[in-house]
Amino acid sequence: MRWQELDQQPCSLARSLAVIGDRWTLLVLRDCFLGVRRFEHFQSRLGVTRHVLSDRLRKLVENGVLKKTPYQERPRREEYRLTEQGLALHPVIVHLVQWGDRYLADGRGAPLIHEHRDCGERFQAQLTCTACGEAVGPRDLRVRQNPAFGDEALVEAGVDVEDVSR
């Protein structure tokens, strides 16, 4: 599988990585969720080159994760805002941050503390079943093949069809 062909794979993770699977892209998204919107602010916070930042922002806009919104007319200036599709990445970013807080933090702990705005308590993200409300862990899921995807597409993507239902 080639990196440039990820978006063509019959795998939702591969297709997602084709859009957001880059360290600079994830840091841009982190900053978006922290309220950063303008190119110069992204650049000063991240220390990334203008070329790389322009490329990542363009890709996020083209894929519908961010949208450009004008904030000044003369000269025209635009800022980047999360779309509905971009906002849907919030759980992904929060889970990655909390994984880093747990396994990669130094002796001082998490650099940022996430609190639930309504109750003021520290927030710990978890997956829950939308039907019953129970917490869901890796051993609580069953993965089945979607009949709309034939075995050929999965085999081509390197998925062992026999292991899909285990």
Question: What is the arithmetic mean of pLDDT over 2-17?
Answer: 74
52 lies in some domain:
yes
Within a domain: 113: no
Residue 9 lies in a domain: yes
Q: What is the pLDDT of residues 76-118, one digit of tens each?
A: 999 999 999 999 999 999 999 999 999 999 999 999 999 999 9
pLDDT at 165: 44
**Mean pLDDT of the region 122-141:** 93
In a domain, 114, yes or no: no
CA of residue 17 relative to chain centroid, distance:
9
Angle at 85 between CA 40 and CA 137, to 5 degrees: 110
Which alpha helices (H) appear in the chain, and where do they start and end? 12-20, 23-33, 39-46, 50-62, 84-87, 90-103, 151-156
Q: What is d(CA 8, CA 95) in angstroms, rounded to the nearest whole number?
A: 26
The answer to whether position 150 is within a domain reads no
Asked if the structure places residue 77 within a domain, the reply is yes
Return the percentage of the chain with pLDDT > 70, whole number. Answer: 84
Give the total number of structural domains in the chain: 1
Give me the CATH number covering residue 58.
1.10.10.10
What is the pLDDT, as a whole number, of residue 6? 67
Q: Which domain holds residue 27?
A: 1-87
